[in-house]
Amino acid sequence: MIRLRGRAIYRGKARGLALVSPVPIGFLGGVDAETGRVIEVGHPLEGECIAGRVLVFPTGKGSTVGSYTLYRLAKVGKAPAAIINARSEAIVAVGAIMAGIPMVDSVDITQIHTGDIVEVDGEDITVG
């Protein structure tokens, strides 16, 4: 079991299987707002569904409308259970806050791998 600690952007509790991207994610045009599937062509997670997963990626990218994409994903039940970033940026942070998705940054994301069971509780993360 690995214990990590970061900075809580939006405090909350969540548990789920990790889905890890080695590269940034952009939600507007990168994730389908109805299905939660990554649709960015050539992205390492292309075709994967983020719904209910603990989504782990270095940082966000793209348009400010990406915040509303996260909010819409939450409204249709296709949002990630939690978001973990190495470094947050405003677009993803605002989207997580609007959508009520627990989010933590300042985390060594290399310690988390796709398929790991991850628990987020405020700024504390348990990988096991």
Task: Say which CATH number the domain at 6 has.
Answer: 3.50.30.10
Question: Active-site residue 63, yes or no?
Answer: yes
Strand order from edge to edge, sheet including 2-5: 2-5, 124-127, 117-121, 13-20, 54-57, 82-85, 103-105, 7-10
- What separation in angstroms does the CA of 54 have from each of 17, 50, 63, 111? 6, 8, 22, 14
Type of residue at 87: R
List pLDDT tens digits, range 48-101.
999 999 999 999 999 889 999 999 999 999 999 999 999 999 999 999 999 999
The whole-number pLDDT of residue 2 equals 98
In the chain, how many domains are there?
1
The whole-number pLDDT of residue 99 equals 98
Question: Predicted confidence band at 128 (pLDDT cuts at 50, 70, 90)?
Answer: very high
Q: Which of 21, 63, 67, 106 is catalytic?
A: 63
Domain residues for the domain of 63 are: 2-127
9 φ, ψ to 5°? -85, -45
List pLDDT tens digits, range 1-27.
999 999 999 999 999 999 999 999 999
The whole-number pLDDT of residue 39 equals 98
